[in-house]
Chains A and B, each alone.
Chain A
Amino acid sequence: MKSRWMKNFWNNRYLFLMFLPGLLYFIIFHYIPMFGVIIAFKDYSPWLGVLRSPWVGLKNFYEFFSGPYAWRLIRNTLLLNIYWLIFGFPIPIAFALLLNEVNNELYKKVVQTVTYFPFFLSMPIVAGLVVQLLSPSTGIVNILLTRVFKREPIYFLTRPEYFRTIYILANIWRSMGYSAIIYLASLTSIDPTLYEAAVIDGANRWQRTRFITIPGLIPTITILLILSTGHILSVGIDLILLLYNPMTYETADVIGTFVYRRGIVGLGGTAPDLSLGTAVGLFQSTVGLVTVIIVNNIARRISETSLW
């Protein structure tokens, strides 16, 4: 038995050799950090290191949840995700369905090419464009406000009530064309004879969309929705870090940005609190894992599509 295993290993030795660097990569940059979450239960000190720092049980979690920011951070993160699901998620689907109805291939191509472009820009460029448009004295939005509507200029990026709208709009602007391409790609796998049969049966355009195209998109939509529930407590923080400031923390500060400020940068020049940052991050990843498992099980029961 043992010798057969050895022989099997030896026959595939070059495959193991190829795979080894990748395996090491995942161990070092993914599994060691997973093991490193034990410092969430310790009072981490850089001098003592991960293993020798003293255990403190749930103190870091207690500190976070009894602190003034936990509720605000969870609320802001959830709200950005919910607004994204309400607005950011369906808009590309509608956009793809409309694009799918365009008969002129050249026009379709132009629209797709233009709307896909913002996806290739880095977040600082996206944020820079937002700043250009919203600048209080010279940005186009305030020019319209003051000249056309005769209102006072608004300092949008210093006002918490506008942050979520700005964040969602900027992200829709950036990713709408990209997401639409994913949906259009899955539309190509719909059997064209279905449409021909529907036309013979007298189905009009809306009926064909409603009963063939949309059902054809459901598996892709389901998968993307399940995946996004895994991120229910995390949002892309790059754009937030670029656009928020202490004046807008009330709505803009999320769990991810908090972990970055407290766990990596440190408050006002003090050393970062690595244990607290790890605890909050662990809370975030655990909720994500649990939600994605639950949602996937529900999806498996009620539909035919699931991740596993």
Chain B
Amino acid sequence: MRVKGESKLFDYFNVIFLGIVTFIVLYPFLYTISVSLSSPEAVYKGDVTLFPVKFNLMAYEKVLSSNRIWRAYLNSVIYTTVGILIRLSLLLLTSYPLSLSRFPGRKIFTFIITFTMLFSGGLVPYFLVVKTLGLLNTIWAIVVPGALSAWNILVTRTFFQTSIHPSLIESAQIDGANDLQILFRIVLPLSTPIIAVMTLFIAVGIWNDYFTPLIFLTDDTKFPLTIILRDIVIMASGIEFTGTAIGAISIPTQSIQAATLVVSIIPILALYPFVQRYFVKGIMIGAIKG
């Protein structure tokens, strides 16, 4: 809030300080981009600090000619698309009944769902269930086991409760519509904000998921981008000692690792303006109503 006559000194400091913080957050990206665009000798000699030195695209030629990365990209796209369809349908179908006070057992069902936020059986029994169901090493292990989160259900339910006027549903009932018709014809068309937000939560969740494919997938051709990234940018640097070879890339240098990072950041950056707006909206819904 701006008040006339108050000292501007704090404002100047604040603006400069936040500028520095922003630069620090940005710096790892700038540095990595510069490394990826510099000649390997310049990188090796430690000449790259902020801007590219001896501009060079060799690292990108190598990275982009690697089949392994393209296949991983494709896998990530498939997992994310299928995952959105399954998880979003489940989320909407589960949240809607919980938003209606006439739904018998609403309280106990809400408790059953909320309790999973406080207690879990742990990683091993969870793994055993997925294994027993025969899901290991299939796409279903990636999209189904984490399909619903209690938090998302509570937020979506609250959205239905506060944004859809009960009289709309009641008058549809009087006109003879059943609950499926009401959900699909009346409630969902009025719920595009929450659908957009949840779609993005789900999409980012699957796209960035590292742990699920790590424990449930063993077949190299099924790995999503996160696992391939680990192999290239972590293991090749000698930090992890186990793992698989790098495929098409023969000499992993820091330039190639940097180029791989940039190539995997670019699509997120491209979608970011769109995603960010809805995410902020989603947090607002969760923070104010949740």
1/0 per position for A170-202, CB-CB distance to B under 8 A? Answer: 000100110001100110110010010001000
Residue in A5, A116, A192 with the greatest tally of chain B CB atoms within 10 Å: A116
| Least Cβ–Cβ distance between A6 and chain B, in angstroms | 11
Contacts of A188 in B (CB 8 A): 284, 288
Q: Which of B21, B43, B126, B230 contacts A242 (CB 8 A)?
A: B230
Contacts of A25 in B (CB 8 A): 90, 94, 147-148
Q: Which of A102, A186, A281 contacts B124 (CB 8 A)?
A: A281
Q: Does B254 contact A (CB under 8 A)?
A: yes
Q: Which of B25, B48, B229, B280 contacts A115 (CB 8 A)?
A: B25
Given contacts A18-B180, A186-B287, A274-B128, contact A127 B44 (CB under 8 A): no
Given contacts A26-B148, A186-B287, A274-B124, contact A132 B93 (CB under 8 A): no
Q: Are B234 and A242 interface neighbours, CB within 8 A? A: yes
1/0 per position for B113-134, CB-CB distance to A under 8 A? Answer: 1001011111111111100010
Q: Does A1 contact B (CB under 8 A)?
A: no
Q: Does A235 contact B (CB under 8 A)?
A: no
Assembled-state Cα–Cα distance A15/B104 (Å)? 9
Q: Are B234 and A124 interface neighbours, CB within 8 A? A: yes
From residue 190 to 238 of chain A, which have CB atoms closer than 8 A to chain B?
Answer: 192, 195, 199, 204-205, 208, 220, 230, 237-238
Residue in B15, B118, B239, B288 with the greatest tally of chain A CB atoms within 10 Å: B239
How many residue-residue contacts, CB under 8 A, span A and B? 295
From residue 124 to 155 of chain A, which have CB atoms closer than 8 A to chain B?
Answer: 124-125, 127-129, 131-133, 135, 137-138, 140, 142-143, 146-147
1/0 per position for B34-60, CB-CB distance to A under 8 A? Answer: 010000000110101100000000000
The count of residues in chain A whose C-beta lies closer than 8 Å to any C-beta of chain B is: 105
Given contacts A35-B121, A115-B25, A129-B28, contact A264 B46 (CB under 8 A): no
Contacts of A199 in B (CB 8 A): 1, 3
Q: Are A128 and B233 interface neighbours, CB within 8 A? A: yes
1/0 per position for A87-103, CB-CB distance to B under 8 A? Answer: 00000000100110111
Contacts of A39 in B (CB 8 A): 124-125, 128
Q: Are A36 and B183 interface neighbours, CB within 8 A? A: no
In chain A, what residue has the closest Cβ to B183? A18
Q: Does A57 contact B (CB under 8 A)?
A: no
In chain A, what residue has the closest Cβ to B133? A28
Contacts of A117 in B (CB 8 A): 25, 269, 272, 276
Q: A25-B94, A33-B121, A242-B230 are in contact. List 7 more A-B contacts (CB 8 A).
A: A19-B93, A19-B94, A25-B148, A124-B229, A124-B234, A125-B265, A132-B258
5 closest A-B pairs by CB: A281-B122, A22-B94, A36-B125, A33-B121, A128-B233
Can you list 22 contacts pairing A with B, beta carbon distance less than 8 Å?
Answer: A9-B104, A12-B103, A25-B90, A25-B147, A32-B121, A33-B128, A37-B122, A50-B128, A103-B11, A111-B21, A115-B25, A122-B226, A122-B264, A124-B229, A129-B261, A131-B233, A131-B239, A142-B46, A199-B1, A205-B10, A282-B122, A289-B119
Residues of A within 8 A of B (CB): 5, 8-9, 12, 14-19, 21-23, 25-26, 28-37, 39, 50, 95, 98-99, 101-104, 107, 110-111, 113-118, 120-125, 127-129, 131-133, 135, 137-138, 140, 142-143, 146-147, 157, 173, 176-177, 181-182, 185-186, 188-189, 192, 195, 199, 204-205, 208, 220, 230, 237-238, 241-243, 245-246, 256, 259-260, 263-264, 274, 277-278, 280-282, 284-286, 288-289, 292
